[in-house]
Amino acid sequence: MSKLEIHQIPVLSDNYIYLARCTETGDTAVIDPAVAKPVLDEAEKLGWKITHILNTHHHPDHVGGNMEIKQATGCTIVGPKPDRDRIPGIDIEVDEGDTYTMGACESRVYFVPGHTRGHIAFWFPDSDALFIGDTIFMLGCGRLFEGTPAQMWDSIQKMRDLPPETKIYCAHEYTQSNAKFAITVEPDNEALMARAEKIDAMRARGERTVPDTLEVELATNPFLRADAPTLAAGVGMPGADPVDVFAEVRHRKDNF
Ligand code: ZN
Ligand code: FE
């Protein structure tokens, strides 16, 4: 099976756009283009020919570059079927359980509502790559603009079942502020405290903290740990239903 070569482009204040090139065919996808120009410039510099756009959800900082990139390259736009009316230029609609093969690289599509009602994720198993949009961030998760805590917890649980070595390519560099919050809800988590220190050091050196692995998130991200007794205790809800713990943690983060 063919693998992806992945290139990360920081744009706007904290967005990441990804270029993912199939090493067998040279087909190249842009994931969640907030803007067009930096993507077209970067692809040209790399000598990669953009053939696809993959969209995880409809927010402007994920689809803003769609039409300009499509006009410039004639690429095919693949996006969430449940959100077809909100994805500019969509050509191919995909949904939970679908596979989509970009070049010779197969992805599996997951429906992960919560941040928006039509959010999807693309998992490329042979590359250990998960393009998750704004569902999971390093040490965080997306705000619940269109979904309920129960929906988001359900979506996150689907992602937790992927192999631990999976790299999570999220769309924002929010890690340092997420870490500051995370230690307030699970102060006894030593792995979290160690990671928070490491992140401070990385940011002080101007380094990116994205991607990281699912294994690391499982041990430290409170939004993946709503069923961990230490987190429930940390928010004063020992023995509570994980959905209620998740809702409480999300509520606290919204007001942090
Ligand atoms: Zn978003
Ligand atoms: Fe976003």
- Taking all residues of the chain, what is their mean pLDDT, rounded to a whole number? 98
Instruction: Indicate if 241 belongs to the active site.
Output: no
Q: Is 134 a catalytic residue?
A: yes
Q: How far is the CA of 30 from the centre of ligand 2 (A)?
A: 15
Any catalytic annotation for residue 251?
no
For the chain, percent of residues with pLDDT exceeding 70: 100
Based on the residue annotation, tell me whether 172 is a catalytic residue of this protein.
yes
Which is nearest to 243 in space by CA: 178, 110, 116, 151?
151
pLDDT band with cut points at 50, 70 and 90 for residue 2:
confident
Summarised one tens digit per residue, pLDDT across range 75-95 is: 999 999 999 999 999 999 999
Let me know: does 24 contact 103? Beta carbons within 8 Å.
yes
Instruction: For residue 209, give every residue at least 6 positions away whose Cβ sits within 8 Å of its Cβ, in sequence order, or none.
Output: 138, 173, 175, 176, 199, 202, 203
Cα 140 to Cα 196: distance, rounded to the nearest angstrom: 12
Are 255 and 219 contacting, i.e. CB atoms less than 8 angstroms apart? no
Distance 21 CA to ligand 1 centre (A): 24
Q: What are the residues whose beta carbons fall under 8 Å from the beta carbon of 129, sequence distance 6 or more?
A: 4, 6, 20, 123, 166, 167, 169
**Active-site residue (options: 59, 83, 119, 128):** 59
Tokens of 226: 């709503």
pTM above 0.75, yes or no: yes
| Residue 59 annotated as catalytic | yes
- State the residue for tokens 């067009």: 36
